[in-house]
A and B are shown apart, each in its own frame.
Chain A
């Protein structure tokens, strides 16, 4: 089995799908000849031709618009939005058009579009290269929302996203592209080489959408998280000595509610972690679900650890970014009761 980082895993998924299905095409700003600013689409144009992997004008509304048109007319487009922070010019096309096409046409038309976009902070990107806008899309019926946390999942989930006949917003936490990140920015950079999830088959496989993964089994408290926070939360559990069960949600819509319910009913405690701002963040939905389903099993109020309700800061990034310490504090708060 090969060792890959997330960039290589995404690239491998695209190569597999380009080989298996001639209707799969990929495009975006710098995503053709150059292979994307993060190199996720590299080699595709060279190997499969510029009709299958191509550069676009710098216009997200146009990129999503043509993706819808191609998708409704028999292709399976994978559009890259260079940074999730730049998805907003395409917002109308995504939320009003892509998400609703099947519904508004009575099921006659649909567009199996995957929109790949790097999200999240931890790279000193300031507020236009660090945002986590997943909640805008989880709030839009008709979209599936996926966020990966490691190379193995990135490939398997991306393949399932491309194969999905519904539109999928596929978030790639860019801080994790080259290695896992436990939140300690002073530590030496870790690569995926030594991580078990860095082992990725070259050949096709998929991971079904809608399935969470228990990345660390535990009995005392459940941590619900996704993306980069999976690694920060796992480290917090290891380093605090608290026997936490860490669940990587992987797909936010549709949510793996059984995994959540089983775990919280077992531990009786729940901490929710995400990078995005707190107000109306996806954590609010998770809290509601847990409260509705597990209230009589809860030993303590549910805790949220999130980004603050501020634009994503540049110099104060580490004061914003949810830390192991904050997660540990939240776990302890659930255990004081």
Chain B
């Protein structure tokens, strides 16, 4: 062996045999797979008390309700009223307006950081509409739609994001790490995946008290590689916890393509060996998202156990304001996603059934834009990112414990408060 020189481990003619997956587009193909070739209305709807393993076809298939002609078809059509459909569309348009404005504020330096959910609006809107507000949600960081459907004030959301004196989490978290106990929306944490077993525990608490509320939680497909994903599935299965566990497969975990998150073909399929009912859902199809959540929620509420849902979607924009996806997924922009856009598709359906038109849509977009501009303005009356006021320094020492122990009181004294 040479002394600290180049250590040669392979002969001249050796070939590397280790497999490392790369996103298909880097080898001349496209990163977009084709489960969408499964037509809308293809899948039958099992009874909510079926065994988890009986959902195998749904786990490997793709639940779709809206067909290519913008019609709602098949057993899974939730038969929402025109008013409910318009409410869903309005939530999604408002979220998009909020996200666009917030990213613009970030670019102008009036916000430190932001994460949009472009393309994933239906994932959270459909879920929230299928649940009751008393159901606890333990989200990841791209489910802002839950807050909109549950009616949180945009002023309060923005206040959190600019960490001003009106921030209910007292400036302790990065933007978009919302907490809203009044809306049963649990504080978001940055370590990924930890919320999965926590939601199972929250669901177990409902069951323990004999209540019929449920818990719902989300993580990304990249995070499904974490142990917490498997802890959550297994504990949910073992205790038949009344919960809905969601993998949002938006194809990308920052720059990591989903084919580095698992070696299989479906994330939903991971629920089958746990005997957890599992469904892969077209995440761009609001009706399919709603129908899947409605089924899973009713199943959990009736005591038939957990469901794993894979929301097959696309992260339409960057991971966050700190990320530039053009470096790692050139050509695979959102406009090329074969399953389309959730706003466009729901809008087209409403137009098709004669309950919506372009003029109303444009008016809605303009109205939402005005709302968010006004809300941002109002939020800044509680303090701006540049000048504050921010939560007072005393809050540094609060909430570490229920009551401050002596050592924190002493340290508080040392900073003069």
Q: Which residues of A contact B (CB under 8 A)?
A: 25, 51, 54, 56-57, 59, 61-62, 64-75, 77, 89, 92-93, 96-97, 100-110, 141-142, 144, 164-166, 210, 253-255, 257
Contacts and interface: CB of A to CB of B under 8 A. Distances in A.
Contacts, number: 153
Interface string B161-174: 00000011110110
B55 interface: no
Contact of B238 (A57, A70, A72, A144): A57
A62 B138 contact: no
B69 to A, nearest CB: 43
A97 B194 contact: yes
A115 to B, nearest CB: 13
B177 A104 contact: yes
B205 interface: yes
Interface stretch (B89-97, B185-193, B247-255): B185-193
Nearest to B402: A165
B198 A66 contact: yes
Given A69-B203, A101-B187, A59 B198 contact: no
Interface of B: 136, 138, 167-170, 172-173, 177, 179-181, 186-187, 189, 191, 194, 196-206, 208-209, 215, 227-228, 230-232, 234-235, 238-239, 398-402, 405-407
9 contacts: A62-B231, A62-B235, A73-B202, A74-B205, A105-B181, A106-B167, A108-B169, A109-B187, A257-B407
B201 A66 contact: yes
A81 B187 CA distance: 25
A109 B194 contact: no
Nearest to B409: A254
Contacts of B180: 108
Contact of A104 (B173, B202, B401): B173
Contact of A108 (B168, B206, B228, B405): B168
A92 B190 CA distance: 11
Tell me if A's interface is mostly helix, strand, loop or mixed.
mixed
A65 B231 contact: yes
B204 A141 contact: no
Nearest to B169: A106
Given A54-B239, A68-B201, A69-B215, 17 more contacts: A25-B208, A57-B231, A59-B234, A66-B198, A68-B197, A70-B204, A73-B136, A92-B194, A93-B194, A104-B189, A106-B167, A106-B168, A142-B401, A254-B405, A254-B406, A254-B407, A257-B407
Given A59-B227, A69-B202, A70-B201, A96 B189 contact: yes
Contacts of A59: 227, 230-231, 234-235
A112 B332 CA distance: 46
Contacts of B399: 102-103, 105-107
Contacts of A61: 197, 227-228, 231
Q: Which of A70, A165, A253 has the most CB of B within 10 A?
A: A70
Given A62-B231, A254-B406, A103 B172 contact: yes
Nearest to B391: A106
B400 A51 contact: no
Nearest to A97: B194
Q: Which of A77, A92, A96, A103 has the most CB of B within 10 A?
A: A103
A97 B402 contact: no
Given A106-B169, A257-B407, A166 B205 contact: no
Contacts of A51: 208
Contacts of A103: 172, 399-400
A74 B232 contact: no
B22 to A, nearest CB: 29
A254 B406 CA distance: 7
A66 to B, nearest CB: 3
Contact of A97 (B191, B215, B406): B191
A75 B206 CA distance: 9
Nearest to A141: B400
A25 B179 CA distance: 26
Contact of A89 (B172, B200, B227, B407): B227
Nearest to A113: B201
A92 B238 CA distance: 23
Nearest to A253: B405
Contacts of A73: 136, 201-202, 205-206, 215
A285 B73 CA distance: 67
B205 A257 contact: no
Contacts of A68: 197-198, 201
Given A69-B138, A72-B186, A106 B401 contact: no
B191 A104 contact: no
Nearest to A285: B407
Nearest to B233: A62
Contacts of A142: 400-401
Contact of B235 (A25, A56, A144, A210): A56
